[in-house]
Amino acid sequence: MISIPMARPIITEDEIRAVEEVLKSGMLAQGRVVEQFEEAFAEYIGARSAVSVCNGTIALCAALKSLGIKQGDEVITTPFTFIATANSILHQGARPLFADVDERTFNINPDDVLEKVTSRTKAILGVHLFGHPFDVQSIREICKDHNLHLIEDCAQAHGAKYSGKRVGCSGVGCFSFYPTKNMTTGEGGMITTSSDEIAEACRLLRNHGDSGKYFHTSLGFNYRMTNIQAAIGVEQLRKLDGFNEKRIKNAEYLNKHLMKAEGLITPYKDERVEHVYHQYVLKVEDDFPMSRDILMNRLQEKGVGCAIHYPLPIFKQPLYQQLGYDDAGCPVASELANKVLSLPVHPALTEDDLRYIVEVVGDMA
């Protein structure tokens, strides 16, 4: 019985040895290994500082909070993302405003962002969805013109580039190291910034506002990463480019073999970007021989893992309906939610896995 999962982290003796060293050192919580991971990550991204935290959701919350986002403020974001993106805005008491997405890249559409800016807008929170960077240049220009902060949700795009620069170095970058992401620490998150002020604000938030030994200057929390997680992160970061190359090769193989199937649209890639294929997302159009949901069931019956990222735009989630959001204003996101289907693309796939995926999808086409 064949069973190909949607994601599988690659953990080798390297990570096991690194964790063993930390365990034997007795320094289990935030310490020198965390610092080492932060320095390596900042250098990799091309940002002055990297501040680690306990997960990606907290990275977003800390970034927004450190920028002063608060009750009464509005933050423009995409409705086509994992719910953590928008929830991090709600957690500040602020209001997410949803701008529609581009039908090819699935990313926030700068033209619609401009339509949604009001006098209460304080920031734009863009998501580099599925590993494809959003239009950083246009979004940055809007931020400049309207005096808005830029936050990049990079949870799905470690190592991706826009115009030759890695994502997470244009605004305040927020990363997740959950096991399904392009690199992992089990749970974990990182904020990248070239502002010393924001880095320091995030460090204070992370550790009960402690600016010296038991000298608390502001209200903070415990958002710390442990040396155990960081030890895994240091090893994973070394391998990240290799993981991403494998994802790109896998995506190119799937593209080559699925491109001609009628009713299937393979992922788009803008010329300016380096796409790291966190997910490989097809659009299943009306002229495909069966519905998207039936196709998904058939693939799963044959052991090909697949998923819908995401079945609902965020404004249609029950929580957001309760908050009074209506469905108007983002027709592209609503349509995409009915069409998208993700196939496995992770670096642990074998050639046999890839051949089998193409064969099974081909049989349905």
For 343, half-sphere exposure in the C-beta direction (CA atoms, 13 angstrom radius) is 30
Q: For residues 230, 234, 235 and 237, what is the CA-based torsion angle, rounded to 10 degrees?
A: 120
237/319 Cα distance (integer angstroms): 36
Name the residue among 104, 109, 113, 110 with its Cα closest to residue 96: 113
Q: Which residues pair with 51 in a beta bridge?
A: 191
Tell me how far, at minimum, the Cβ of 12 lies from ligand PLP, in Å.
Answer: 22
172/67 Cα distance (integer angstroms): 9
190/270 Cα distance (integer angstroms): 26
Which of residues 88 and 250 has its CB atom nearest to ligand PLP in the complex? 88
Q: Tokens for 239?
A: 């391998």
Among 38, 153, 274, 353, binds ligand PLP (CB under 6 A): 153
Among 45, 69, 84, 237, binds ligand PLP (CB under 6 A): 84
225/223 Cα distance (integer angstroms): 7
Which of residues 56 and 353 has its CB atom nearest to ligand PLP in the complex? 56
CB-based contacts of 160: which residues, under 8 Å, 6+ apart? 128, 131, 132, 133, 154, 166, 167, 244, 273, 274, 275, 276
Exposure string (b/e) for 253-267, b if CB count within 10 Å is 16 or more?
Answer: bbeebbeebebbbbb
Among 56, 168, 171, 233, binds ligand PLP (CB under 6 A): 56
Which of residues 180 and 211 has its CB atom nearest to ligand PLP in the complex? 180
Tell me how far, at minimum, the Cβ of 65 lies from ligand PLP, in Å.
Answer: 15
Residue 317 near ligand PLP by CB under 6 A:
no
Which of residues 97 and 129 has its CB atom nearest to ligand PLP in the complex? 129
Site map 93..132 versus ligand PLP, x via CB under 6 A: ----------------------------------x-----
Residue 189 near ligand PLP by CB under 6 A:
yes
CA distances from 75 to 115, 150, 201 (A): 13, 10, 20
Which of residues 134 and 325 has its CB atom nearest to ligand PLP in the complex? 134
Piece in contact with ligand PLP (CB under 6 A), picked from 36-44, 52-60, 267-275, 349-357: 52-60
Piece in contact with ligand PLP (CB under 6 A), picked from 50-58, 230-238, 327-335, 354-362: 50-58
Piece in contact with ligand PLP (CB under 6 A), picked from 15-23, 51-59, 254-262, 300-308: 51-59
Residue 134 near ligand PLP by CB under 6 A:
no
Residue 185 near ligand PLP by CB under 6 A:
no
**Dihedral (CA of 67, 72, 76, 82) sign:** positive
Among 52, 57, 185, 266, binds ligand PLP (CB under 6 A): 57
Which of residues 15 and 152 has its CB atom nearest to ligand PLP in the complex? 152
Angle, vertex CA 169, rays to CA 308 and CA 129, nearest 5: 10
Number of residues that bind ligand PLP (CB under 6 A): 14
87/125 Cα distance (integer angstroms): 12
Q: Is residue 127 a contact partner of residue 101, using CB atoms and an 8 Å limit? A: no
Tell me how far, at minimum, the Cβ of 173 lies from ligand PLP, in Å.
Answer: 12
Contacting residues toward ligand PLP, per CB under 6 A: 55-57, 81-82, 84-85, 127, 153, 155-156, 176, 178, 189
